[in-house]
Structure 1
Amino acid sequence: MAEGVSLRRRRRSMSQINVVPFIDVMLVLLIIFMVTAPLLQQGVEVDLPQADAEALDTTPDQGEPIVVTVSRDGRITLNQGPRVGEGLERDELRGIVSDLLSRQPGTDVFVRGDRFVDYGRVVDAMISVQAAGAGRVGLITDPPEQDG
């Protein structure tokens, strides 16, 4: 009879789930994502001019606005499209913006120009964007620094 009792104990399966390894994996993933998230930000360093201007009204249902950036060295880049962050020529800029606007008409278009770049280069970017079909083009500036 003692043999039958011991056989039952051996055959009994364990029905508990050990969650400690799962928690360890989740914490490691959390740390990895926290470290890599800031590195995924793409952009061009631009020293924007300061201006006391009101913010433009944008509609959230239009999606992400198209931002054309003119860096200090005169390089023109886009925040959307097939060549994000790459230097573009005027005709390439016009073609990509035209394609983006044909897919999402009414998308807001903004130009970020470095304060030390040649003004003509910013105007060229604005003309290219308008030729691509943008009805309105906004300029992005930084608010003036407050003393005190």
Structure 2
Amino acid sequence: MNIRTAIAAVLAATACLTLASCSDNADTNAASKPSSTPTVDPGNAFVTSVIDAHLDSYADGVPAAAELKAFPPKWCDALEAGHTVQWMLDNVDTYPSGETWGTGKTDAYQLVLLGTQAYCPKWTDQVRDDLRESGEY
């Protein structure tokens, strides 16, 4: 083997190894990077929508976020179980109120809709239908 052939073989081998190495690193780096699609916490989206709604019940201040965020998962579970908005608002465990705050019935309807949109959007149409049937939407 002459020197030119040997150098060409070494260069070719180095190029192959470099390409293979880059490929492996690119895959590893892509897997270790976080997704560029941000995830939105449904609780934060819900609280923001409640603030933006300017509900009369909260004219003196919106209840604590942690207290508000406790209700939408209960509403989603109730909807999954086949209950209506009226059932939820007739039930003390799912009516949006706390020790130091309450929600008027009209605002409670809006709150259930906002919570459903943020936490379990697949039930939004049913909530709207329930509210329309009751004359509240």
Of Structure 1 and Structure 2, the greater helix share is in: 2
TM-score between both structures, scaled by the size of structure 1? 0.28
